[in-house]
Amino acid sequence: MNLSFYIAKRYLFSKKRTNLINIISAISVAGMAIGTMGLIIGLSGFNGFDSLIKSLFSSFDPDLKITLVEGKSFESNNQTFNEIRKMKDVLFFTEVIEDNALLRYENRQVLATIKGVSDDYSQMTGLDTMIVDGEFILKAGNDQYAVIGQGVAYYLSLGVNLINPISIYVPQKGRSSGLTMEGSFNQGHIYPSGIFSVQQEIDSKYIIVPIAFAREIFEMDEKVNSVELKLKDGASVKTVQKAITAQLGSRFVVKNRYQQHDYLYKTMQGEKYAVYLILILILIIASFNIVGSLTMLIIDKKEDIGILQSMGADKPLIRNIFLFEGWSVSILGAVIGTIAGLAICQAQIVFGFVKLQGGGGSFIIDAYPMTIIPLDILLIFFSVVLIGFVAAWFPVKHISGKFLEDEAH
């Protein structure tokens, strides 16, 4: 065993002449452990919410979405799009018409986004699993139905068992405003079959209808606003995205699931790294305990330093003893904190001890979500060890050097 490490280990666990050194060393270990535990719990909590939001959006957003760079509508029934439809990695190809409209039910009205979709839309997304009332039905025989976001349903105060249909108003194309809504707006009437709940931003915005209904009310003929694609299991989203982008050219933009909510995901990542940096800063402050304990230990072991020098120990060996001592404190704290942090996160995952305030069944989950990412755990562990090494290096470099010079004289 390395002599410096062996002596450092003895110093770490042996009783010092001054009991205060033992107390400060214990506080140093506890500070590093608590900081490590806080980092693991904090980042795992952010990862949990990140995973939750991604899973919610995955129930509504397609793997890939094709839209125009400029303009609003385009024809999707041509050779280029037919080739995309037949690509081996494309499982579902859904045409979408999406635009704003005025919804009215009895004496209540709200602006919402009408999303007209193909018949296979329920197979392409997981929206049918997010139904909180009724069923996901867009067509039944010759009858057409709508599936409505929970927020829209709340604003209109409606359920799935209506006597009267929802009225939808859209301005007529190429026509100036008239004196009445009937003369200036296209009108449609439709009954809701189900109410879905994904995320507040989506729930308060969207109403899903058959694409034939949307074509008629928006006067779209054969054009669409976007094409949504679901890929086969195992297909590389990035590879397919590049292939479709090259095939369509610069006139179209192809976005993956995360690019469709680019701002949200970047904000969440930014918040995660901000929390990481804040907790690292707290950990750096806590590491000053290592500086204090090492300084007092070097003073306490001044006689030992003289004895080791008289026995032929050189300066690097003596410095390494105290460097390993300080580093051992940070590693011990990192190990204890990592084990405790992982245990708390796992307990929260299994038992859900910490509940969401105001949850009570009104949200999709009742307890704070946790997701443990091994790469984050490694990053935290090595960050703590690095901070401990730097904290130990300063007093060893300056203070032990002074004592070594004194002993030499």
The percent of residues in the chain predicted with pLDDT above 70, rounded, is 85
Across the range 296-314, mean pLDDT stands at 70
> What does the pLDDT read at residue 289?
80
Q: Is the pLDDT of residue 14 over 70?
A: no
Domain coordinates of the chain in residue numbers? Answer: 3-57+264-408, 64-256
Q: Give tens-digit pLDDT for 160-218.
A: 887 889 999 998 876 655 555 566 789 999 999 999 988 888 899 999 999 999 999 99
pTM, to two decimals: 0.73
User: H or E segment at 100?
Assistant: strand 90-105
> What does the pLDDT read at residue 80?
92
In sequence order, the 6+-apart residues with CB closer than 8 A to the CB of 107 are none
Provide the pLDDT confidence category of residue 93 given band limits of 50, 70 and 90: very high
d(CA 17, CA 35): 29
Q: Is the pLDDT of residue 10 over 70?
A: no
> What does the pLDDT read at residue 408?
47
> What does the pLDDT read at residue 216?
93
Residue ranges of alpha helices (H) inside 174-261 are 181-184, 200-203, 211-218, 237-248
Over its C-alpha atoms, the chain yields an Rg (Å, rounded) of 32
Q: Is the pLDDT of residue 258 over 60?
A: yes
Across the range 7-31, mean pLDDT stands at 68
